[in-house]
A and B are shown apart, each in its own frame.
Chain A
Amino acid sequence: MSAQASPEATSPDGKKGGKPAAATPKIINPVFRSAPGKVLPAGLSAAALLELYERMVLLRRFESVAQTACRKGETPGFLHLYIGEEATAVGVCAHLRPTDWITSTHRGHGHALAKGMDPNILMAELFGKRDGCCGGRGGTMHLYDRSTGLFGTNGIVAAGISHAVGAGISARTQGKDGVGVAFFGDGATNHGGFHESLNFAGIQKAPAVLVCENNLYATATPLASATLNPEIATRAAAYGIPGVAVDGNDVIAVWQVMAEAISRARGGDGPTLIEAKTYRTVGHHEGDPVTGTYRTQAEVDEWLKRDPINLFRARLLDDFGTASADELGAIDAKIDKIVQASLEFARNSPEPDAATTALHVYAEPINPPEALVQAAPTTSVTQSWLDAVRDGIAEEMRRNPHLLYFGEGTGERGGTFAHTKNLWAEFGPHRMVDTPISEQGFTGAAIGASATGARTIADLMFADFAFEAAGQIVLQGAKLRYMSNGQMNAPMVVRVGSGAVRSAGPHHSGTYHPSWANIPGLIVCMPSTPADAKGLMKTALRAGDPVMMLEPKALFASKGEVPTGEHFVPFGLARIAREGSDITIVSAGQLVHRSLEAAEKLSAEGISAEVIDLRTIMPLDVGTVAKSVAKTHRLLVVDEGWGAFGVGAEVAQAMNELAFDDLDAPVGRLHTDAQPHPLAPALERAMLVDADKIAAGAKGVLAGRPPVPKHWRYLGGQAAPAPVATAPAALRSVEPTAAPVPVPAAAAPAAIGDGEPITMPFGDLTISEGTIVGWLKQEGDAVKAGEIVAEIETDKAVVEIEAPVDGILGPIEQKKGAVVPMGGRIGSVRA
């Protein structure tokens, strides 16, 4: 590849040429064409050639008929026709088996037919009819067919590339030699989905073939005006994989190039990028002018001379003598009959039953059976949150050898939060897959793998980062079951640490669960105890739908009782965390613990509060809340998400609908203030919900005056002032974030020295304590600033503690074996 500079030119010393090596690369991209002449290409028999011809004619005639139907208004929506590009789909798919998966684009009818879809169910789908391949739910741009291995045409540019990569990895994981093949256009190659997927496929040596159909225009944008390197095959070099350009109108050439790519993929040699240079001789979509303003009739005419079917027909007749004109005519007539039959089939198929419109949004039932039947009770053990969840994942990975874990640094390193410790050692690099920082790419691959027989956890580290993969989660994973009419589903778990903890700042503090719960097809979990976190994770790993598993980072260091046996927590079942009779407080995640503290404060004032832990945001257990409100008649919703269009609004309206006659006061809600999370502790504290705000809010509801948020930002005055929480005491901020089981406080110090304090450093967001391994110096020893005086072991590492100044050590306030909170004093040095 000449795009690569020579080693000499990249020499960093700048001496050889006397100037830096930066230079515009010279790009050379030879286009492969089949050899001229009368010799049959190796591997292609006369019968195989005629099959290629018949398949191309099917694609062409089918779309010509669909085009007419579309013009007559028989098909709802737009059709994007593949006319002119048939040789590419047919040449590629000739190498594929029904068990291989292809992903396609908005221009996907040709791919569907080339892969073997029955023309009848394809035409009926274009008509939006009941007998269509997706029952009329998907349509032209959302065609799925599990039986022939069509993993979707797609309305989103570049979205299917990662699915094909995942499908290939899935096949490999299952010990099969199946391959994932992605078709995409030249427009997709300037999209992050292309870059992330090719890079991930390369580093994973995924059994995949990546086929770019370069038809020169992204809708109406010429490729040459969208990139300075329009030679797409050369981009493979950026990912260290082979790339080859081929004449996409030469079906033999495409077949030959694909023969090599598929053999590499099946043989374990990894992915290949194929650039098929081709041209659509129709408009972007049916109804769009053929030329438009972006290309000329002369250009179209030039390409029409190279029509792939005419070219191939001429070679069959003139070069290979495979068949006579009459014989080819008979094939054409046979295809015409098939296509006409498909048109009649589509016209005669009934409209889908309107009563079925809501089917296939979620699995039914939404819970796996295991989560609905309780196992025999077992003993429990006190475990930290992360260990409990990690054990749950390990149990499921042992049970299901096709369960994969994709994450950044979750492999040998054991995870940013030490949350995948030891999994790499047990399950190895092929299942604990360390990914590049390509959230979109590996989440899409997770969807692809999960929909084709594997299961995947996509670990995105922080809840904030999930938006980097939002298109895949919302538009692909969440809708897959519906679009495919229940044929396919993506049982994937998106795992993230969520919520505010210790000034993590604007990009590492969010939780965003109301946004995800707003999307039909997603399950959203937000546990508050180690047992629930493990139980929900195990349920998620057996369920049938994509799950957003939001684990509050503030609870990672918490401990709790966890059953030692098989433990599942069903989706949609709230937990009564504390019983009470005067007011119900509904919460989830870390705020359950703040609510329990508030209930304790209220109890001291004679107010009995019931605290409900929702556990899952979607499904939402409004039944348990309504039952509680029937008892207490008052409700305060406390939630860490932002309030606008949030959990408080949803639960309050549910009570309007389900428990109106039980309400003795307006429902109140308390949320994190509607603003980004600031770094400064004083600013952050002011926006977060705490126990004092909850207690004040509860009293407001009891007095018939709930707190009023300010998030509407409408023009006009506030209806009533919000009750003001008593100002939290200044020292509260330095307390460690509370946990279900309180962090053991440091033992009472022997004596407090008056020298420079030696403290346990704040090291990590999720570590809250450490144990003193030992003192390397004794009281009275002279120490130098920076000298190691003690060692402290945390869940993640042994930390060396340095003397802060030159002086005499002592007194030692915490002895060997003491458990010390982050930031806590362990001794001092007198200068």
Chain B
Amino acid sequence: MNAPARTLASPYAKRLARERGVTLSLVTGSGPNGRIVAEDVPLTPVAAAAPVPAAEVVVAPAAAPVAVAAPVRSISAFAATIDLAPLAAFIAASGSHLSIDAFLVRAAARAAGSHAVTVRWMKAEGGAVTIPRAVALAPSEIARRIGSESDAPASADKAMLVSRLNAKGVRPVAGGLPAGVDLRVLVVAGDGEATAEALAVHDADIIPEVEAGDILTRFRDLLEAPLRLLV
């Protein structure tokens, strides 16, 4: 039988080759029996517009990097679409009547890590609430604070801004970054919507773009697997 020799490759190597436009039969495998594994797949070629690896997180085409009036700040922004169905199911299963805002705050705090010990929640109707150590608070407690009139005293900790615009059919493309703030997450989601659009705005001199992308990815992942938010 003169059947052509089969090219052995791991599923992941095959996926990478597909994404990178690489012909696997030209690649030498380093695995058992000459199996091609991920590290054997070259990064070339990229002729036409290369598919973006993680399709869900894209640089907002029209708005990034966004130039803002402040003179010497180098500001970038990333956008992502978030599936809200798991969060809605989670809240329903918990038997509580929380809105998604408390979860947005907690997810933002978790995702930002050391970049924001404190979250400053910008109310849609104007005004803001400072929530120190939001990462350690239960969603019900965060909801209570968001709803309260009194504001916690300003702390010396780094604060990030989080806000939600209750609107349908629009996407965020730019957001201002006040002095002293390095990170902001702006979410657009109507009540009961199946998806949300989120924009992470950051000072690229302080939070590198790679890290900001990671923060937004984590933010999305936490909201899409809400049980993770509790551990």
Measured CB to CB, the residues of A under 8 A from B are 365, 367, 369, 372-377, 570, 572-573, 575, 623-624, 627, 633, 660-665, 703-705
Of the candidates B31, B93, B138, which one forms a contact with A375 in the assembled complex, judged by CB atoms under 8 Å apart? B138
A661-B15 CB under 8 A given contacts A373-B138, A374-B139: yes
Residues of A within 8 A of B10 (CB): 633, 663-665, 704
User: Interface with A: B32-40, B146-154, B198-206, which one?
Assistant: B32-40
Residues of A within 8 A of B37 (CB): 664-665, 704
Contact call A664/B90, Cβ cutoff below 8 A:
no
Residues of B within 8 A of A624 (CB): 225
Contact call A623/B32, Cβ cutoff below 8 A:
no
A377-B11 CB under 8 A given contacts A365-B93, A664-B38, A704-B31: no
Contact call B96/A373, Cβ cutoff below 8 A:
yes
Measured CB to CB, the residues of B under 8 A from A are 10-15, 31-32, 35, 37-38, 90, 93-96, 136-141, 221, 225, 227-228, 230-231
Contact call B136/A374, Cβ cutoff below 8 A:
no
A530 nearest CB across to chain B (Å): 16
Residues of A within 8 A of B136 (CB): 377
Of the candidates B12, B94, B137, B230, which one forms a contact with A661 in the assembled complex, judged by CB atoms under 8 Å apart? B12
- Once bound together, how far apart are the Cα atoms of A575 and B139, in whole Å? 20
Of the candidates A369, A374, A573, which one forms a contact with B138 in the assembled complex, judged by CB atoms under 8 Å apart? A374
Contact call A664/B230, Cβ cutoff below 8 A:
no
A377-B138 CB under 8 A given contacts A623-B225, A661-B11: yes
A539 nearest CB across to chain B (Å): 12
- Once bound together, how far apart are the Cα atoms of A654 and B103, in whole Å? 29
Residues of B within 8 A of A704 (CB): 10, 31-32, 35, 37
Contact call A367/B38, Cβ cutoff below 8 A:
no
Number of A-B contacts (CB under 8 A): 72
Contact call A376/B32, Cβ cutoff below 8 A:
no
Contact call A661/B138, Cβ cutoff below 8 A:
no
**Beyond A369-B96, A372-B93, 5 additional pairs, beta carbon < 8 A:** A367-B93, A661-B14, A662-B15, A664-B11, A665-B31
Residues of B within 8 A of A570 (CB): 227, 230
Contact call A377/B231, Cβ cutoff below 8 A:
no
A493 nearest CB across to chain B (Å): 21
Contact call B95/A633, Cβ cutoff below 8 A:
no
Residues of B within 8 A of A660 (CB): 11
A369-B12 CB under 8 A given contacts A376-B138, A377-B137, A704-B32: no
Q: List 25 A-B contacts (CB under 8 A).
A: A365-B93, A369-B94, A369-B96, A372-B94, A372-B95, A372-B230, A373-B138, A373-B140, A375-B138, A376-B141, A377-B137, A573-B228, A573-B231, A627-B221, A633-B10, A633-B12, A662-B15, A663-B10, A663-B11, A664-B13, A665-B10, A665-B37, A703-B31, A703-B32, A704-B35
A663-B12 CB under 8 A given contacts A373-B96, A374-B230: yes
Residues of A within 8 A of B137 (CB): 376-377
Contact call B227/A573, Cβ cutoff below 8 A:
yes
A593 nearest CB across to chain B (Å): 19
Q: Residue of B at shortest CB range from A629?
A: B12
Of the candidates B15, B139, B221, B231, which one forms a contact with A373 in the assembled complex, judged by CB atoms under 8 Å apart? B139
Q: Residue of A at shortest CB range from B35?
A: A704
B181 nearest CB across to chain A (Å): 26
- Once bound together, how far apart are the Cα atoms of A595 and B13, in whole Å? 27
Residues of A within 8 A of B15 (CB): 661-662
- Once bound together, how far apart are the Cα atoms of A633 and B12, in whole Å? 7
Residues of A within 8 A of B13 (CB): 664
Q: Residue of A at shortest CB range from B140?
A: A373
Residues of B within 8 A of A623 (CB): 225
Q: Residue of A at shortest CB range from B32?
A: A704
B35 nearest CB across to chain A (Å): 6
- Once bound together, how far apart are the Cα atoms of A372 and B225, in whole Å? 12
B208 nearest CB across to chain A (Å): 19
Residues of B within 8 A of A367 (CB): 93
- Once bound together, how far apart are the Cα atoms of A650 and B115, in whole Å? 39
Contact call A372/B12, Cβ cutoff below 8 A:
no
B128 nearest CB across to chain A (Å): 23
- Once bound together, how far apart are the Cα atoms of A367 and B230, in whole Å? 14
- Once bound together, how far apart are the Cα atoms of A664 and B32, in whole Å? 12
- Once bound together, how far apart are the Cα atoms of A573 and B95, in whole Å? 19
Contact call A575/B231, Cβ cutoff below 8 A:
yes
Residues of B within 8 A of A663 (CB): 10-12
A601 nearest CB across to chain B (Å): 23
- Once bound together, how far apart are the Cα atoms of A575 and B231, in whole Å? 8
Residues of B within 8 A of A661 (CB): 11-12, 14-15
Of the candidates B12, B32, B230, which one forms a contact with A662 in the assembled complex, judged by CB atoms under 8 Å apart? B12
A613 nearest CB across to chain B (Å): 11
Q: Residue of A at shortest CB range from B106?
A: A374
A366 nearest CB across to chain B (Å): 9
A373-B94 CB under 8 A given contacts A664-B38, A665-B37, A704-B32: yes
Interface centre among B10, B95, B139, B225 (most CB of A within 10 A): B10
- Once bound together, how far apart are the Cα atoms of A365 and B230, in whole Å? 17
- Once bound together, how far apart are the Cα atoms of A367 and B136, in whole Å? 22
In the A-B complex, list the 7 residue pairs whose CB atoms are closest, starting with the nearest. Answer: A369-B95, A372-B94, A664-B12, A704-B31, A661-B15, A365-B93, A374-B230
B206 nearest CB across to chain A (Å): 24
Residues of B within 8 A of A664 (CB): 10-13, 37-38
Residues of A within 8 A of B95 (CB): 369, 372-373
